[in-house]
A and B are shown apart, each in its own frame.
Chain A
Amino acid sequence: MPFKRYVEIGRVALVNYGKEYGRLVVIVDVIDQNRALIDAPDMVRSQMNFKRLSLTDIKIEINRVPKKKALIEAMEKADVKNKWEKSSWGRRLIVQQRRAALNDFDRFKLMLAKIKRGGLIRQELAKLKKENAA
């Protein structure tokens, strides 16, 4: 019930609205009750409203408003990219992006693969049912 992800310096967040939609950023300073100063390795440091951010479980060790070099070093040290891609939230996002980028031929291949997988599952189920009935 209590909160587990706090807004703090070093909290990694996902932008969920606006021009930077889908980007992972780090909160480097808190401006006031509603806004934070955020930064990412390939982005100009800028301010963003908390309502546009979704906090993640990842936190890195940095001082308030670090230089770009220090930020990149800290992110490498904490291995943010790998942690994100291994987390279930990150994996889900990657799958969604792949699905959105399919072309028609890919979708056809996907359909065949799903049918084949369904067939294998039904075969195994039939075997188990037979064992159970016997």
Chain B
Amino acid sequence: MKTILSSETMDIPDGVKIKINARVIEVEGPRGKLSRDFKHLNLDFQLIKDEEGKKKLKIDAWFATRKTSAAIRTALSHVENLITGVTKGYRYKMRFVYAHFPINASITNSNTAIEIRNFLGEKKITAMQFFDRLSVPCFEVCCAKCMDSSVLFQISSVSYDTCYMQVRKVDMLDGVTILRSEKVKDELVLDGNDIELVSRSAALINQKCHVKNKDIRKFLDGIYVSEKGTVVVEE
């Protein structure tokens, strides 16, 4: 059955500028600008001013089926996330969990990438092994792991342990920064404005440290999200 009209409104706090044009919403606030495109939804977005002059966002659905009416509230929630992202920002905290092998993480690239080593003690050697003091001038070799010649290295003399070690590298998405928190052992802090990007970066880090071929009830190692909050915390 189609409901003739279903609509919902939401308050817009002061200090945030919203622009709506053709179902593309742009939000601007003290922490920056975010934009989101709702062209996959068939809804009417309007900015209205109700009595006492408060600014509100109103979403209408005409002759909507059940699923379309449900999409009204989710669109409002997405806009709410944009607004808090742009005023308070999002901070996700992750903890390293390990039983025996300390997870060794280093943050590279001016806080936009993380390299993880020694997860579960792995030392997978994936390039060709060389014997001690083999001296072969100007020998070009391509990395056996990725099989592409962009990782050519010239070797004149190589000893056993300068081979390629298993490193898990995760690049943060646009606008997300990562740092190792001081004072708390083994904690990562991801900061950003867009909740989708921050939570997806956290998920990428988590997924890089899945345990394979083992009973996961016993091998609980990994990097897990411990707290989802905002950067600016109000008391």
Contacts and interface: CB of A to CB of B under 8 A. Distances in A.
Interface of A: 1-3, 33
By Cβ-Cβ distance, the 6 closest A-B pairs, closest first, are A2-B46, A1-B46, A2-B44, A1-B44, A33-B2, A33-B63
Contacts, number: 10
Interface string B1-36: 010100000000000000000000000000000000
Contacts of A2: 44, 46, 60
Contacts of A1: 44-46
10 contacts: A1-B44, A1-B45, A1-B46, A2-B44, A2-B46, A2-B60, A3-B62, A33-B2, A33-B4, A33-B63
Contacts of B45: 1
Contacts of B46: 1-2
Contacts of B44: 1-2
A1 B44 CA distance: 8
A27 to B, nearest CB: 15
Nearest to B1: A33
Interface in B21-67: 44-46, 60, 62-63
Interface in B162-189: none
A33 B4 CA distance: 8
Contacts of A3: 62
A4 to B, nearest CB: 12
A1 B46 CA distance: 8
A47 B86 CA distance: 53
Contacts of A33: 2, 4, 63
Nearest to A33: B2
B232 to A, nearest CB: 33
